[in-house]
Structure 1
Amino acid sequence: MDWSTEQRTTAEKYKKLEDIPESERKYKCHTCHLIVDQNPCPNCGETKLEIMCPLDNCHCSHEMISGIEYCPLCGKPVCPECGSHDVVQISRVTGYLQDVSGWNSGKQQELKDRMRYSVA
């Protein structure tokens, strides 16, 4: 992923999302699908808001891509073309496709560590 200079600076400044001061935080509301500056959401009142990673651009126009990268700040999977964090990562497990978001942390780390090859 080609992060912008501003994004790289942010990733170097903070080691994890919780390190971002509350005054600089943005939140994702998955109920009304908005990005808001405060918790709870001023639009719908949702209280369980996710701290938004500053490297997330939230607008991925790609329906399907063959590769995946991981955010250097929050570690979540991102679209390698645009950097959006709103991706669903699937893997073929013994003949069927499965969303990997339900996997435990050990299995997800194993997926990140896999070597990928392409046959030409």
Structure 2
Amino acid sequence: MNWNAEQRALAEKYQRLDDIPVGERRYKCHSCHYVVAETPCPHCGETHLEIMCPLDHCSCPHTVIERIEYCPLCGQAVCPECGSHDVVQISRVTGYMQDVAGWNAGKQQELKDRVRYSAV
């Protein structure tokens, strides 16, 4: 991923999402789909908000991409073209395409560690 200078500085400044000071955090509300600066969500009252990675910009114009990369700050899958964290990663398991979001942590790490080859 080709992060811009501001994104690289953020990734170097913080090692984990929990290191971001509370005053600088943004949160993703999965109930009303807003990005908010406080918890609970002022729009719907949801209390279980996810800390939003500062490298995420929430809009990926790409429909299907062939490969995936991982964010250096939060470790989540990102679009290698634009860096958006708003991607659904699927993998072929015994002949079926499946969303990997439901996989346990060990299986997701195994997916990250896979070596990919391309036939040229």
Please indicate the TM-score interval, normalised by the length of the shorter structure: over 0.9
Q: How does 1:42-61 map to 2 (within 5 A)?
A: 42-61=42-61
CA distances 1:58-107 after superposition (whole Å, capped 9, x unpaired)? 01011111100000000000000011111110000111111111111111
Unaligned runs of 5+ in 1: none
Q: How does 1:11-50 map to 2 (within 5 A)?
A: 11-50=11-50
The root-mean-square deviation of aligned C-alpha atoms, in Å, is: 0.7
TM-score, structure 1 length as denominator? 0.97
Aligned to 2:85: 85
Letter in 1 for 2:13: K
Number of residue-to-residue matches in the alignment: 120
How far is the alpha carbon of 1:39 from its aligned partner?
Answer: 0.5
Unaligned runs of 5+ in 2: none
Distance in 1 between the 2:64 and 2:92 partners?
15
Distance in 2 between the 1:29 and 1:58 partners?
12
Aligned to 1:5: 5
Distance in 1 between the 2:21 and 2:64 partners?
34
Q: Secondary structure at the match of 1:119?
A: coil
Letter in 2 for 1:113: D
How far is the alpha carbon of 1:10 from its aligned partner?
Answer: 0.6
Identity across aligned pairs (percent)?
Answer: 72
Letter in 1 for 2:51: I
2:116 is the counterpart of 1:119: no
Q: Secondary structure at the match of 1:109?
A: helix
